[in-house]
Amino acid sequence: MNPRKGTASALGRPWRAPRDHGGPTFTEGRGAWLVDRDGHRVIDATSGALNVLCGHGAGPVVDAYVAQLRALAHVDMSQGLARPGHLLADRLRDVRRGRGERFFFANSGSEAIELAVSVARLYRAADGGGRTDIVTFERGYHGSTALCQSLSGLPQTGRAPASGPRIHHLAFGEFTGEGQRSHRARRHIADRLRSILARSAAGTVLVEPFLNVGGGIRLPAGLLGDIRRVCDEHGALLVLDEVFTGIGRTGAWFAHEHENVRPDLTVFSKGLTNGVCALSAVAVDEHVLERLPAAGVVPYGHTMSASPAACAAAVATLDHMHATDAVAAARDIGARLLRALGRELHGTDGVLDVRGQGLAVSVELDDVGTAETVQQVAYGLGAYTRQQGATVMLAPPACLSRDEADRLADHAVTAVRKAVAAR
């Protein structure tokens, strides 16, 4: 990654200074691999912002998308309908084992979070109008629109909303590294949630089951179930942000399945079209919809909502995932990676924690500079990783072979050792 090789084009980029063209320029993606413009091949341990679970260039998905583009790219879903939207909703109902849910579509994860918050707001209004506050994790990330940024307490996004709901943040407090998965951390967070719901106007709890941007943080075992129980005790809605964890990433179709928890609303997006185009969704339990005003509409909609081409790509992605057993592969390859990294790095100098679930395995270093060096060294060795603060995450596609997984683990271990030795 050589910043001097940046182009002088007029391109501005997300989450970067306006003229920052640092980082590699890629020209090709095939399966688990990317090729940069110098011809350097790297394993894509970012899965294209966690989107490409089936690997780059998955033929059936691309073909279905192109075929639908040729047949009918788009209709205005607020006026008329097209078959791919129906097909996708029915396929998703099967993936979610026929629970009584209805699926609403948007484009980005952020839009889908906004949509979920709108539904929650309608529900709370039908319930008497109070309890408009929302509870989220302090280190949660829910997107980049103004509302979504205000939901997060992360330093790069967290800011008090100028208007809109009051946000209460759940913090891990004194718990860091491995301690974040401890029984004591579980009790601390559940107690804090109970106290917020008892003493405030909060009626909606919006959490990630596994924190992505916050640092690849796994929740303590059992906490999601506790959160569900506390929500039930206080009549609060549980909205799960599965934008990162949904559609197979953690080795289950949805991360809440690991804990056997049933949310009221589930938001998901990454992986839904295997990176072919933007699409996000909210699954809303029928019991929530039943409480909304009968003639009322859900006040959301975007020009490209539920575009037939995007829905066709998503149907093909789900079919391809079934055909290739991608969810089981995410579970098994992810476990192999986690074992290898844990064996080599757990307790070593400079490493605070090795954690993960499915194909999202993180190494937490003891400072941001070391994590940056790990990222650079790993790239030179042939692994394109995801650095977030002091954490480096490996989130490759599920088409990674065992040999490739071992090679990726080797590169990461070597990069960590070199980065720590160079300090």
Ligand X SMILES: Cc1ncc(COP(=O)(O)O)c(C=O)c1O
- Give the residues lining the site for ligand X (CB under 6 A): 108-110, 113, 141-144, 208, 212-213, 241, 243-244, 269
User: Which tokens in the block code for residue 269?
Assistant: 């997006």
Residue whose tokens read 């008892």 = 198
What's the Cα-to-Cα distance from 37 to each of 255, 285, 387, rounded to whole Å? 36, 47, 22
Q: How far is the CB of 296 from ligand X (least distance, A)?
A: 26
Task: Give CA angle at 183 (181, 188), nearest 5°.
Answer: 95
Q: How far is the CB of 39 from ligand X (least distance, A)?
A: 30
Report yes or no: 69 and 88 within 8 Å, Cβ to Cβ. Answer: no
- 219 vs 409 by CB, closer to ligand X: 219
Q: How far is the CB of 113 from ligand X (least distance, A)?
A: 6
- 106 vs 374 by CB, closer to ligand X: 106
Q: How far is the CB of 422 from ligand X (least distance, A)?
A: 30
Within 22-174, residue ranges assigned H as helices are 47-50, 59-71, 83-95, 109-126, 146-151
- 143 vs 263 by CB, closer to ligand X: 143
The residue nearest ligand X at its CB is: 109
Task: Give CA angle at 140 (134, 146), nearest 5°.
Answer: 65
Residue whose tokens read 């977030």 = 388
- 47 vs 212 by CB, closer to ligand X: 212
In this structure, what are the phi and psi dihedrals at residue 175, rounded to the nearest 5 degrees? -85, 125
- 243 vs 309 by CB, closer to ligand X: 243
**Which residues lie across from 35 on neighbouring strands?**
28, 41
Q: How far is the CB of 246 from ligand X (least distance, A)?
A: 9
- 268 vs 379 by CB, closer to ligand X: 268
Q: How far is the CB of 303 from ligand X (least distance, A)?
A: 16
Under 8 Å CB-to-CB from 146, ≥6 apart: which residues?
161, 162
